[in-house]
Amino acid sequence: MSEQAHETIRIFVTGSCDGLQPLLEALAGSEELELLGANEHIAAAAPALAGGHLQVVLHATRSSILPINELAAIRELTRAPVILVCSSEASALLEEALEANVADVLVLPQFIENVVFSIRKSCHVGRSAEAPLGSEGRIVTVFSPKGGTGKTVLAANLAASLAHDEGKRTLLLDLDLQFGDAAIMLGLEPDKTIFDLVVAPGELDADKLTGYIVKHSCGLDILPAPLRPEDAELVTETKVGRLLEVARYAYEVIIVDTSPFFHGPMLSTLDRTDQLLLVASLDIPTLKNVRLGMQTLELLSFPRERVRVVLNRANDKVGIKQRQVEEALETEVWKSVPVDRAVPLSVNRGVPVVVADSGCDFSRGVHELAKALFPAKERERRVLSPLRA
Ligand SMILES: Nc1ncnc2c1ncn2[C@@H]1O[C@H](COP(=O)(O)OP(=O)(O)O)[C@@H](O)[C@H]1O
Ligand SMILES: [Mg+2]
């Protein structure tokens, strides 16, 4: 198409669908692409997907529903953007795929020029995305190295606001594994938890995850913490890693509530965290611990630009001001949320404040936080229509 010399893009093709063979031949013949290989089975393609410095993966599917397990399996092996390829009979999954952050969807047959354009665009978006968002949901971890700072209140209400007000497919994951209370704060009494999910036989995949989710009436999905503290130790670092990989294909955003410790599951969460909300408040012991927490994050090589300090109970009249917090932490407070009587009232009633009292000061602060995390400018995505309808 263009005479301009482009750098060739390294691609790999997995899966199968009608009309894939002629596409493979065209891809192999394109001077703009380097087709490293094609394999119907993701497991068999694992070495190439993991080690090939791939720039784009094309995954073909015959399924009429979104193949989230296959997408999660690819995502575990490579962070390259994934383009879904299907035949026109499977076009019903278009919307769902775009919602799930698939980079693009190609309905066959297509002109090779269109396919190359889509690959080039996906490659560019994958490279320029601010966070490692490629084609997956965003993981926002709410942490503070001190108990009682408001992690759970903030995590639960932020998640509820994203689900209820912003219409995002949101999962609230309670990783305060010993004493998690996110579910109870939302008025839920779960009978299944993350513990039951990780000890259930068979591989953890998206279908299995769905079976252990508790749904809140505000539209939020929750995976509660174990009911007994002693069950926490079976929720290992590896299991949490796998869970997050699967979850970020099924959700647009995963809000993780945490305990005040850097244990194994937390390290595995940090590895996958796109934004860490570090909760501080206006008291000296908390500030001391938040500062220590920041040093630990640095030792763990957690990227500093992913850390955002959120000041809870920001208007407490306790003799310390936001400016002093910023000086003590040597960083700016990104957002602040006020103390509000509506919070303990709705915690005790088991309803999210942002839903029960959306106009109160606390809810307004949380809404602002939600909007700042997900500014309206959604990435433009293009669906190429087939040659024939
Ligand atoms: N902004 C706020 N205004 C009023 N009360 C708050 C606020 N944030 C937290 N709280 C209260 O503090 C208690 C502890 O908060 P929580 O979220 O459980 O802390 P953490 O999870 O960090 O241990 C909650 O039960 C809640 O009633
Ligand atoms: Mg908590």
H/E/C letters for each residue in 353-377?
Answer: HHHHCCCCHHHHHHHHHHHHHCCCC
Q: Is the CB of 337 under 6 A from ligand 1?
A: yes
Phi-psi region of 330 (alpha: psi -120 to 50; beta: other; left: phi over 0): left
Question: Nearest ligand to the C-alpha of residue 154?
Answer: 1
Q: Which of 317, 343, 357 to mutate to test the pocket of ligand 1 (most atoms within 8 A of CB)?
A: 343
Please state the rounded mean pLDDT for residues 77-100: 80
pLDDT at 73 over 80: yes
- Looking at residue 385, its pLDDT comes to 42
Domain ranges of the chain: 9-133, 138-373
Q: Which residue has the higher pLDDT, 343 or 382?
A: 343
- Looking at residue 133, its pLDDT comes to 40
β-strands 9-15, 33-39 pairing: parallel
Other beta carbons within 10 angstroms of residue 47's beta carbon come to: 10
pLDDT at 389 over 50: no
- Looking at residue 52, its pLDDT comes to 59
- Looking at residue 300, its pLDDT comes to 86
Please state the rounded mean pLDDT for residues 271-293: 95
9-133 with 138-373: one CATH topology? yes
pLDDT tens for each residue of 315-363: 988 889 999 999 999 999 999 999 999 999 999 999 999 999 999 999 9
Q: How far is the CA of 259 from the centre of ligand 1 (A)?
A: 14
Q: How far is the CA of 304 from the centre of ligand 1 (A)?
A: 26
Q: Is the CB of 261 under 6 A from ligand 1?
A: no
Q: How far is the CA of 236 from the centre of ligand 1 (A)?
A: 27
pTM: 0.69
pLDDT tens for each residue of 290-315: 999 999 999 888 888 899 999 999 99
pLDDT tens for each residue of 238-262: 899 899 989 998 899 999 999 999 9
What is the rounded CA–CA span in Å between residue 250 and residue 332?
33
- Looking at residue 77, its pLDDT comes to 79
Class of domain 138-373: alpha beta
Q: Confidence band (pLDDT; 50, 70, 90) for 5?
A: low
Q: Is the CB of 360 under 6 A from ligand 1?
A: no
Q: How far is the CA of 179 from the centre of ligand 1 (A)?
A: 14
Please state the rounded mean pLDDT for residues 86-111: 82
- Looking at residue 79, its pLDDT comes to 77
pLDDT at 132 over 50: no
pLDDT at 206 over 90: no
Mean pLDDT of the chain, nearest integer: 89
Q: Is the CB of 349 under 6 A from ligand 1?
A: no
Task: Give domain 9-133's CATH number out of 3.40.50.300, 3.30.420.40, 3.40.50.2300, 3.90.1150.10.
Answer: 3.40.50.2300
Q: Which of 141, 153, 174 to mutate to test the pocket of ligand 1 (most atoms within 8 A of CB)?
A: 153
Instruction: Indicate the SS3 state at residue 188.
Output: coil
Q: Is the CB of 35 under 6 A from ligand 1?
A: no
